[in-house]
Every structure is written in structure tokens, then in C-alpha cells.
Amino acid sequence: MAAPILRWVGPGKRWALAWVDSSSSHRRVSPNGSASHRMREQRSVAQQSLHTAPKPRKGGHKWAAVVGLEVHAQISSNSKLFSGSQVSFAAPPNSLVSFFDASLPGTLPVLNRRCVEAAVMTGLALNCHINKKSLFDRKHYFYADLPAGYQITQQRLPIAVRGSLTYGVFVGNKRSHMATKTVRIKQIQLEQDSGKSLHDDLRSQTLIDLNRAGVGLLEMVLEPDLSCGEEAATVVRELQLILQALGTSKANMAEGQLRVDANISVHQPGEPLGIRTEVKNLNSIRFLARAIDHEIQRQISELESGGVILNETRSFDHRLGCTVPMRDKEGKQDYRFMPEPNLPPLVLYDTASLPVGVEPQQVINIDQIRDTLPELPRVTRERLVREYGMLPEHSFTLLNEVGLLQFFQSVMKETRAEPKKVTSWVLNVLLGYLKQHNLAVNESPITPSALAGLLDLLDSKAISSSAAKEVFEELWKGKAKTAAQIVSEKQLELMQDQEALEHLCQATMEGHPQVVTDMKTGNPKAINKLIGLVRKATLNRADPAVIKNILERLSA
């Protein structure tokens, strides 16, 4: 796909398209990460089995790994951080570029209120201290997709500092027990995204798309409180859920709305921290976990074989499953930070400090934003456990799958079935089918109402649970039939005729005297065998509990 760059040509007074001819033939990634590989929509991770933390080598020392994350989240906003250009994914190249975004000389940044509010919301949700005064700085580096030659960021005094994020990890062999952990958030800063570079090595060209240039980012710097890939993956997943709940970012890693860099080092417990490397290009949660674990293992092997760790930037090659040094990141970059002179300090207020008589649209009130924060994922999970008596791990799964919680809640609204039954059907049956067919929740052929109808039939004991499975399979085929229609067409209703059932039981007992004798002598398996035989005779249309009752009565 050609991504031509804007170029003002001659006196023709037209924006024309021109190529950025030739470029360095090697690949580079700008500091805020521009590489993005296409991937399918990401799926849950927390419940999946990830690579486990590094194990000490045989006969070797114990190693401890220290992992810190830097997360860039693209802010969901209509326009860019400092210009009026629209923000939209996958628009035609260079179609969303204002004069400011193209760095035309004389243009000036104007701060987008929505982006500031998003930063405050995110900061509050992550228990940060919101700085009532924050500053903007210029970070300089030459790169083709950074038209001004600098990025406006918040290096000295960011908008939010000193927060924390609580996440749950599974412990124990069966992964059934949840433990709560916390990672500290160092700071959250507002900054500009860069454009995108596409390197065409064959023709020795670089194509630039500035649509993304200037989009608002939240850079979240996490303290190095993590110790393995799975923890990092869980934290990023939780962060993703928080951002999505707040609506401050779509946080879709495949679309580059969430980008993660990891700082990794290993050391012997009791010793000072080791030299760290930075791993970039982590564009899915799965790769993030794999890359971190690989890098920890690589550092341990390196040190154990007498090598040294270099303070370098590496990227994760997901095909090879290992991290490799990034050639361009060799040598030290001096970003020559400087205060951004065109933006006065960003001043926020709370209800106590709000100046008298000021127009509400001219100021941002932190307290007001705090009051309108939506329910955060942790609270939602606690509520699910409390309201529905759900297991904590079930609440995690419901939130981790995009759209699953909503599906669950829709079913709950329409059915009389017990929450536990609904949870079990949604998580075990529906989710199983979805995974098997590699479908997202919103692609499910079974609607929440269809499932609710089915569960109602089950709840009123109109059908047996095995019949319910059959109905589910029919519903999955998506022939626009309701559960009730399928039940009546296939004659799957439970036999309600007590007398007929008694006859069948009688006949079965008579046909199998030895089993009856066994039952009477107290063999517990015998009655189950009889129940099975009766059910078979009813074509699975009888409730085993009812059969059991009759059998017990008849043999008494």
C-alpha cells in the first residue's frame, strides 16, 4: 500500500503527493513504537496457560527477574492532542493531517480538552495523584515520521504520578486460587503519537503516513514490580480492561492503540539489580509474556555462561520466538529535552480550588471527573461474585472476553434460570463453542435471548440437560428457530406422564432382575444402571431424579 507524504509543491497552491525517496535501508522504530503487525483481535490471556516464570537451572544459582513496563495507550478522542485533525484507524494515508501535524512553520499547538480529561480519568482510576499543574516538554530526535523533529511530551512534570494497579494472579497447581498483587504506577504523561513509516527495502524508499502523527497518547510508566511474563501479561490485560471501561482508549493492541515496552533485568537475590534491556515491538499480550520470559531466560543463560548483559534495546521476533538487538538503537540517544514554549502550564482544579465565577468549560475539575468515573473491572468482578455467588475466576473470564459480560448480563435479564446455571452455560458451553470455532462473542450465532429461552426450558424442567445440549447445538446452527420450537419439533420434552414412566420403570425392573437384586443388596452402582436403562427407553426425555424416585419407590 502506498503511503505518500504531503508535500507543498511550488506555486501551484495544491497539496500534492510525493515520495520520500530512499531512506536508510534498515528498519527502525521510533521511541513511541510505530511498528505494528496485523493480528487477529486479541483474546483473553489471564486464563490461558502462559509461559511460566523462569526456573532456576540445574545446579545453578537462583535468579530473580525484575520487569518494568512502559505502556502507550492511544486516547479515544475525536481529534488529535494538539490539532483539530480527526482521529480514525485505517483512513486513507495522509488524509487526516492538519497544518500543525505536518509541522508547517508558524503553526502552534492547542491542547485538546478531551485528552486532558482522559488522562485525569485514567490517573484517577489508577489511584494516581493528579498534578494540579503539569508541564509540556519537547523531546528531540530526527525521524521521518516525526515531522517537527520533536515530540511534545510531559517529561518534567507529568499530569499524574504515584498510582497503583491491583491485579489477580492464579496460584497453586490447579490454578484455582486467586491472589491479589499490586504494581506501582510511576507516572502518566500526555504526549503526541508519531506518524507511521513503511520501509520499502526493495525500492529503497520510505513511505510516510502522518494520519497518526499527533494523536494523543497516555504514556503509563509502571515501576519494576513484576517478575515474569505472566504477571506482565495480566497487568496489561487488567490495564486494557480499565481503559476500555473508562472509554479513554480502545486499547486494542492489534490496531496499535496499546503498545507495550518492557524493561527486564535479572539478579541474584540480595545483590543489586542487574543491567536491564528494553524489549520493544510487543504487539500482543501473548507475545509480551513470551518475549519477557525469553529475555529473562536469555539473560540468565548469558550470565551463567560468564557473559555480560548490555544496556540495549531489543525487539521480539515472534516467528523465532526470541529477542534480537535492534541495530538502530545502538549508541546513546540524547533527546535534548526542553520546555515547550508554546503551551502554558496545564492547570487543573478541584472543587475547593475552583476560581470563582469561571466558566465550567474553561476549566477542568478533578472532583467532577472523579464523580463520573464508571465502574472499574475490579469492582465489577466483586459485584458478580457478590450478586451471583460466582467463583472469582469465573468473574475474571467474564470480563476478559470482549463482550462476554454483556452477553451474560443480557441472558440474566431474560431468564428465570439460576445465576450459577447461566454462568456455567455461558462459560462452559457457549465460550467452548466460540473458542472451538474461533469466534468472538459478538460473532456468536446464538443470541442472549435464544440462550435465555433455552435455559428457561431447562429451569422449568421441560427438558433434560442432555436434551438442552442437543437444543443448543441446533441453535448454534442458526436456523432462526427458538429453543421451544426445536424442542417441540424434535420431541425433546421431558416425559411428564407419571403413570407411563412408572410402567417403563416396572418393565425395566422386570427385565433386569439381577440388577434389582444388586440394588436391593445395597450396590450403589446398580440404581444408576437402572436409571440409565429407563432413560434410554424414554429416548432421554425423562428426568433422572424423577426416575430414581420411582425406582426407589417400586423396589421398596
Q: Which is nearer to other proteins, 35 or 440 (CB)?
A: 35
- Residue 256 and residue 91: Cα distance in Å, rounded? 14
Three-state secondary structure string covering 105-170: CCCCCCCCHHHHHHHHHHHHHCCCEECCEECCEEEECCCCCCCCCEEEECCCCCCEEEEEEEEEEE
The nearer residue to other proteins, 103 or 485, going by C-beta atoms, is 103
The minimum distance between CB 159 and other proteins, in angstroms, equals 16
The least CB distance from residue 361 to other proteins, in Å, is 13
What's the min distance (Å) between Cβ of 262 and other proteins? Answer: 24
Closer Cβ to other proteins, 18 or 545, answer by number: 18
CA terminus-to-terminus distance, the chain? 80
Kindly state the smallest distance separating residue 264's Cβ from other proteins, in Å: 24
Report in angstroms how near the CB of residue 251 gets to other proteins at its nearest.
Answer: 29
Least Å distance, CB 129 to other proteins, is: 25
Least Å distance, CB 146 to other proteins, is 9
Q: Which residues contact 60 (CB under 8 A, 6 or more apart)?
A: 300, 304
Nearest CA among 330, 235, 243 for reference residue 282: 235
Distance (Å, rounded) from C-alpha 39 to C-alpha 37? 6
State in angstroms the smallest separation of the CB of 144 from other proteins: 6
- 3-class secondary structure, 96: coil
Pick 39 or 343: Cβ nearer other proteins: 343
Q: If you search the block for the grid coordinates 497503583, which residue do you land on?
A: 164
> With 0-12 CB in 10 A as exposed, 13-18 as middle and 19+ as buried, what is 270?
exposed
- The backbone torsions φ and ψ at residue 398, rounded to the nearest 5 degrees and listed phi first, read -60, -40
Shorter beta-carbon distance to other proteins: residue 81 or 282 = 81
Residue 136 beta carbon to other proteins: minimum distance, rounded to whole angstroms: 10
Tell me how far apart the alpha carbons of residues 407 and 470 are, in angstroms, rounded to a whole number.
21
* C-beta of residue 216 within 8 angstroms of C-beta of residue 192: yes
For other proteins, give the closer residue by CB, 200 or 302.
Answer: 200
CA 241 vs CA 376, 435, 443, 490: distances in Å:
8, 20, 20, 42
Would you tell me which residues interact with other proteins (CB under 8 A)? 5-8, 10-11, 13, 15, 20-25, 99, 102-111, 138, 140, 142, 144, 147-150, 206, 208, 334, 336-338, 341-344
Question: In which residue are the cell numbers 502550564 written?
Answer: 345
Nearest to other proteins of 208, 253 (CB atom): 208
The residue (of 203 and 503) whose beta carbon lies closer to other proteins is 203
Integer angstrom CA distances of residue 354 from 129, 357, 367, 528: 18, 9, 10, 74
From the list 455, 95, 515, 64, the residue with the least C-alpha distance to 265 is: 64
Alpha-carbon span 392 to 407, nearest angstrom: 18
Q: What are phi and psi of 352, to 5 degrees?
A: -70, -35
Q: Name the residue nearer to other proteins (CB basis): 108 or 500.
A: 108
CB-nearer residue toward other proteins: 102 or 226: 102
Least distance in Å: CB of 85 to other proteins?
A: 14
